[in-house]
Amino acid sequence: QGRALMAPYLPRAGAAAGPGGGSPFSEGGALYALGLIYANHGHDMRPFLLEALRGTSNEVTQHGACLGLGARGGRRGGGGEGV
């Protein structure tokens, strides 16, 4: 549900920001919000957040993904490989 709620603000796979894409600030904020929404709820958003982190060169979006990863518990549920 949280991902569907945040979908309009999340980065689109393979799409650059601009017409049809969100601003880096809304994308970064949405990634952070996902981490907060799913923190301690068992649903693992780590793969999605890591993909978002690796899929952009924009520092604002990267920062939001990193905050989301930290908010959801970092290493909980597995090792820290690839982070």
User: What angle (nearest 5°) sits at the alpha carbon of residue 70, between those of residues 23 and 53?
Assistant: 40
End-to-end CA distance of the chain: 25
pLDDT at 40: 80
User: What angle (nearest 5°) sits at the alpha carbon of residue 22, between those of residues 38 and 8?
Assistant: 50
Give the range of the structural domain holding residue 50, as residue numbers without chain letter: 30-73
3-class secondary-structure state, position 45: coil
Q: Is residue 67 included in any domain, yes or no?
A: yes
Contact 32, 68 (CB under 8 A): yes
CA distance 25 to 31: 10
Q: Is residue 46 included in any domain, yes or no?
A: yes
Q: What is the pLDDT of residues 19-45, one digit of tens each?
A: 445 899 999 999 999 999 988 876 788
Which of 68, 67, 73, 62 lies closest to 3, judged by CA?
Answer: 68
| pTM of structure | 0.78
Report percent pLDDT > 90 for the chain. 54
Give the number of domains in the chain. 1
